[in-house]
Amino acid sequence: MPRRCAVFSNAVRRAACTTFCYEVDDIIAARDRLRAEGARVLGDGEPRLGAHDKPVLFLHPKDFCGTLIELEQV
C-alpha cells in the first residue's frame, strides 16, 4: 500500500469515517474517468437515484484504502 494511502487509511479509521461522498457535475464523465484509472464501480455501473433523488454511484472500497466512495451528481 502506498505510504500516503496508508496514512490516510489510518486517519480515517481513527475518525471512524468509512464513507465519503463527492459531488460531481457529470456522474457519467466522473465514472468513466475513474474506471480508466482503474477504479471499480459497484453494481452494474449505472447511476441510480440516491437518498436525495439525485444519481449516485459507489466505488469499491478496496480501490480507496478501505473507504467506500459515493459519487453524487449535483
The domain spanning residue 62 has which CATH number?
3.10.180.10
Catalytic residue numbers, as ranges: 70
Q: 3-state DSSP call for residue 64? A: helix
Q: For residue 24, give its domain range.
A: 3-73
The model carries a pTM of 0.77
Is pLDDT at 3 greater than 80 in this prediction? Answer: no
Number of domains, the chain: 1
Asked whether the beta carbons of 40 and 50 are under 8 A apart, the reply is no
Q: Which three cell numbers stand for residue 16?
A: 471512524
Give Cα 56 to chain centroid, integer Å: 10
Query: Which residue reads 464523465 in cell numbers?
Result: 29
How confident is the model at residue 60, as a pLDDT? 95
Q: Which pLDDT band holds residue 1 (cuts at 50, 70, 90)?
A: very low
Q: 3-state DSSP call for residue 4? A: helix
Q: 3-state DSSP call for residue 55? A: strand
